């Protein structure tokens, strides 16, 4: 095993590591949900949806919105990006159809390399081009229907603001966060 590789492959996906990450995210006020490959392949969204509902009921939408990170475990050895894995795209599309609040929930944490709004778009949209930039640790992705997807997400975020009686400033912050993630550009580290 090379020094760059953990016991689970390029990214250590052991239960202990995922639990540690989850605790660290919680400590920072974020929610970390790794979705097992088995759930992805079977299209099992109920456990994740129940976690969302539980956190919203327990903490309130204002404290959950913009703070959810969803990752896909079991793919550490897969060299494809998430937008190139049909099972992940199908799962996200199903989740999107079942959770109207989804665009309002996803977090944008560039300091941790997590872009929930960007993931939302690439998992739902039609990829026109994906240019790898390994030196920057990512891809520049062109999405054919990006404008419509962004408009839909922003409408849904506004609807969440109304339905959950969020402060207008909170709704505006969620919109700004989504736009920042949706328009994120790779930069040298």
pTM of the model: 0.88
Question: What per-residue confidence (pLDDT) applies to 188?
Answer: 53
Sequence-distant contacts of 17-20: CB under 8 A, at least 24 apart:
18/73
Does the structure show a pLDDT above 80 at 14?
no
Question: What per-residue confidence (pLDDT) applies to 187?
Answer: 55
CA quadruple 86, 134, 145, 101: dihedral positive or negative?
positive
* Three-class DSSP category at 18: helix
The string of DSSP letters for 118-129 reads HHHHHHHS-EEE
Instruction: For 60-96, write each residue's pLDDT tens digit.
Output: 999 999 999 999 999 988 989 999 999 999 999 999 9
Does the structure show a pLDDT above 70 at 11?
no
**Dist. CA 115–CA 46, nearest whole Å:** 23
**Dist. CA 154–CA 174, nearest whole Å:** 9
Instruction: For 144-161, write each residue's pLDDT tens digit.
Output: 999 999 999 999 999 999
Residue 1 pLDDT grade (very low, low, confident, very high; cuts 50, 70, 90): very low
* C-beta of residue 68 within 8 angstroms of C-beta of residue 46: no
Question: What per-residue confidence (pLDDT) applies to 184?
Answer: 85
Over 22-54, what HEC string results? HHHHHHCCCEEEEECHHHHHHCCCHHHHHHHHH
Eight-class DSSP state of 63: H
**Dist. CA 175–CA 155, nearest whole Å:** 9
Question: What per-residue confidence (pLDDT) applies to 76?
Answer: 86
When mean pLDDT is compared across 57-66, 85-94, 113-122, 180-189, the lowest value belongs to 180-189
Question: What per-residue confidence (pLDDT) applies to 35?
Answer: 95
User: Mean pLDDT over residues 120-125, rounded?
Assistant: 97
């Amino acid at each position: 095993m090379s020094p760059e590789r953990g016991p689970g492959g390029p990214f250590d996906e052991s239960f202990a590591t995922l639990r540690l990450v989850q605790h660290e995210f919680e400590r920072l006020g974020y929610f970390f949900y790794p979705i097992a490959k088995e759930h992805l392949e079977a299209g099992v969204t109920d456990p994740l949806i129940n976690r969302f509902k539980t956190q919203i009921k327990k903490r309130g939408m204002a404290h959950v919105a913009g703070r959810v990170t969803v990752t896909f475990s079991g793919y550490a050895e897969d060299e494809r990006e998430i937008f190139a894995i049909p099972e992940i795209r199908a799962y996200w599309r199903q989740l999107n159809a079942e959770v109207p609040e989804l665009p309002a929930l996803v977090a944008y944490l560039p300091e941790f390399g997590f872009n929930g709004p960007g993931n939302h778009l690439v998992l739902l949209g039609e990829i026109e081009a994906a240019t790898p930039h390994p030196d920057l640790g990512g891809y520049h992705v062109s999405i054919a229907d990006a404008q419509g997807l962004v408009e839909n997400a922003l409408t849904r975020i506004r609807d969440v603001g109304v339905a959950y009686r969020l402060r207008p400033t909170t709704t505006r912050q969620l919109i700004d966060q989504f736009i920042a993630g949706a328009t994120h550009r790779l930069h040298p580290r």
